[in-house]
Amino acid sequence: MILIEHVMDVISRCCDRTAVLDFGRLVTEGTTQDVLADPVVAALYLGSLGADAPDDNGTALPSAGSMTALISVGGDDEHDGPLLSVQDVVVAYGDLQAIKGVSFDIARGECVALLGANGAGKSTMARAIAGAQPLRSGTIAFAGRSIAGLRPDRVTALGVAQCLEGRKIFGTLSIEENLIAGALGAPKPVVAERLEGIYDLFPVLKERRRSPGTALSGGQQQMLAIGRALMSAPRLVVFDEISLGLSPIAVDEVYAALVGIRASGAAMIVVEQSVDRALKVADRALVLSQGEITLQGTPMELLADERLLASYLG
């Protein structure tokens, strides 16, 4: 058999020999045991905090000033506790428990990366927070108010925006109409001000604002999806796999925008396969394994912890 697979558990249990490809190049091959122990393979999965960081590769970062107008942050609730509180959450698809009693908090302005191998439960957790996946049990509270069971549009109206996997651009709407759809019926002057903030962040969207949303490249469509999420002036944004399928340059641009959004004070949850990308922007990271949080800490703590690699490579 030849097995083409991301899931390392499957590879280590099934395959005698393994070859690793990266951007069309054979990186290494040999016995599965040797290949999984190869630091080059580890680097491909986890990356390294090296010179290609989005904030030091020459990519122009958006000014935090323009984003401050766009995102309403803190101050407008009397709640003293964490901005988001996830307690004992269980999410299941039929008999399969994808999230098995997960608890964590997110503070105002904090950027938390949600990491883990394929199938670990990251997207399920992101969808549960956004109101797109019902909970089997447990609670999710935003600014002290339960949001479990609310529809995604109600969750967004309370201040939790979502940029979920797949972008979901409206093909029949122009770029600007796609953005306006994210403003949830805010008054016209407010919409105009927020549009300017988005156009400052992603000038290409302004240049092409009359074109259909789907006439953009993959990276530009991701910018549109991020812009649309920001149009609701959120206090927490959930980003799910925003680098998926993008070229390295497009990923740099998208991550540069995240750095700007973080600087404006919005809290963020960044769900990512690309560990090094996420850890460069995050204050803290949680690692999911088979629906449970198995590791958490600051980026530096996690990178020094061999269990991080084990959670990806088995």
Contact residues for ligand ATP, defined by CB under 6 A: 93, 96, 98, 116, 118-124, 273
Q: For the CB of residue 60, give the shortest distance to ligand ATP in the complex, in Å.
A: 30
Q: Which of 219, 61, 232 is nearest to 153 (CA)?
A: 232
> Judged by CB, which is closer to ligand ATP: 102, or 155?
102
Spatial separation of the C-alpha atoms in residues 102 and 200, rounded to whole Å: 38
Quick one: residue 58, left, alpha or beta (phi over 0 = left, psi -120 to 50 = alpha)? left
Specify the 3-state DSSP secondary structure of 196.
Answer: helix
Q: For the CB of residue 165, give the shortest distance to ligand ATP in the complex, in Å.
A: 7
Q: For the CB of residue 148, give the shortest distance to ligand ATP in the complex, in Å.
A: 17
Residue identified by tokens 């407008």 is: 76
Spatial separation of the C-alpha atoms in residues 99 and 131, rounded to whole Å: 15
> Judged by CB, which is closer to ligand ATP: 125, or 231?
125
Q: For the CB of residue 14, give the shortest distance to ligand ATP in the complex, in Å.
A: 17
Burial class for 283, CB neighbours closer than 10 Å (0-12, 13-18, 19+): middle
Quick one: residue 284, left, alpha or beta (phi over 0 = left, psi -120 to 50 = alpha)? beta
Q: For the CB of residue 262, give the shortest distance to ligand ATP in the complex, in Å.
A: 22
> Judged by CB, which is closer to ligand ATP: 85, or 123?
123
> Judged by CB, which is closer to ligand ATP: 50, or 166?
166
Q: Which two tokens stand for residue 84?
A: 């988001």
> Judged by CB, which is closer to ligand ATP: 116, or 131?
116
Q: For the CB of residue 6, give the shortest distance to ligand ATP in the complex, in Å.
A: 7
Q: What is the layout of strands, in order, in the sheet containing 292-297?
A: 160-163, 236-240, 267-271, 111-115, 284-289, 292-297
Across-strand partners of 160?
236
> Judged by CB, which is closer to ligand ATP: 130, or 183?
130
Q: For the CB of residue 269, give the shortest distance to ligand ATP in the complex, in Å.
A: 13
**CB 213 within 8 Å of CB 173:** yes
> Judged by CB, which is closer to ligand ATP: 176, or 240?
240
